[in-house]
Amino acid sequence: MTGGDPEVTTGPLSDEIIDLANAHVKLDKEACRLKNEYDTLLEKNQDLADVNAKLKLQTKVPSQSSLQLQQQVATLQQQNKILQRQVENLDKQQPLTQKHELPTSQFQSAEHPDPDIFSANNAELRKDLPLFVRKINMKFIANADWYPTEQSKMLYLVSRLKGKAYSIIAYGINRNGTANFASTDAILVLLEQAFASINEQNVACLQILTIKQGRKDTATHISDWFEVARKTKLSDNALINHLYDSLHPNIKVQIQNRVMLRQPLPTDLTSYLIEVRHIDAVLRSSNPNYTTSSLSSGSHSSLPLPSTASPPPPGDPMNLSAAKISPVIVWTSSDAENHRIPRNEAEKSAKRNYCFEN
């Protein structure tokens, strides 16, 4: 052993020191390991803190949306309350306004056509007065809710007048636009006194003698004839005679044949007009333009009468008129459908003509 080196001693104490040193080294290593784990845990904790912060931010967004929705709901509820108060106020005001306003359009009757404006500027136009009066009254009946007061009726009636017709009643129209008459009837009476025909019945009785169908279609002729006939106030029997005298020759021939064959004819005017229309329909089925075409010679020819034929009985409405034209036998589609057998030469000839034409 040298003089400068420490003396190494061995023994139980030195072994303990060595063990302690080794243990200290192990503890240092364990401390380093724990320190590293601690640092790792700190990093993880920081990461978790960051994630938690992000989650908190994400949860705040729905909360803000929910708050906005709640605010909108509250606003709408306030608006709804305001509207409810307005509706209640309108309901309170409605009974008051109904007292002064006319019914709304959904409760009004459908508009009835207006009558043509009546002027009475010449004799031809004055003939339309009866029709004008009827149409005015029809308007007031159909649209009664449009004209609830007599004043509103009179003002409407005045609006349908012009020319001489308006001049007659102009004195009764005030400057403020109101009518100074008792009623609409008072205005109509004034018009009738001024423009209606005084001798309407006598004029109609003379006019009905001159009305002839000529080449007019039967429907038009009956309409024109009936307008005059109703003014004559004659009996149905007399009017039937006048109607027969005015008809187209082809229709008269058919009527004559029925009289001679003792087929019953109507005795009231309405039924007689229907019978004439039926005869017209039969004739038009074979010749739609029979009234406008030239009359055939057969319409005026005279053929033998059936031996069994006899004059119409007294009081028959065709008694006078039937004798004005020589009777002609015509075979009709009704005869053909019923398979009627001809009873004489005239009917045989008529049947041959019918078969030839059809």
Contact 169, 119 (CB under 8 A): no
pLDDT value, residue 59: 64
Q: How far is C-alpha 7 from the geometric centre of its chain's CA atoms? A: 137
pLDDT of the chain, 358 residues: tens digit per residue: 444 555 555 566 778 888 888 888 888 888 888 888 888 888 888 888 888 888 877 765 556 777 888 888 888 888 888 888 888 877 776 655 454 444 445 558 899 999 999 998 888 888 889 889 999 999 999 999 999 999 999 999 999 999 999 999 999 999 999 999 999 999 999 998 888 877 778 888 988 999 999 999 999 999 999 989 988 888 999 999 999 999 999 999 999 998 898 888 999 999 999 999 999 999 999 898 898 875 543 444 333 333 333 444 444 444 444 434 344 466 677 777 777 777 777 777 677 666 655 5
Q: How far is CA 131 from CA 12, 191, 292, in A?
A: 155, 13, 30
**In b/e form, how buried is each residue of 144-156, taking b as 16+ CB within 10 angstroms?**
eebbeeeeebbbb
- At a CB cut-off of 8 Å and minimum separation 6, what does 349 contact? 303, 329
The whole-angstrom separation of Cα 163 and Cα 152 is 21
How many C-alpha atoms does 354 have within 13 Å on its Cβ side?
A: 20
Whole-number pLDDT of residue 311: 42
pLDDT, position 93: 66
Look at the block and give the residue holding tokens 């019953």.
264
pLDDT reported for residue 94: 61
User: What is the pTM for the complete model shown?
Assistant: 0.42
pLDDT at position 174 is: 93
Contact 176, 149 (CB under 8 A): no
Write down the domain spans for the chain. Answer: 123-196, 201-357
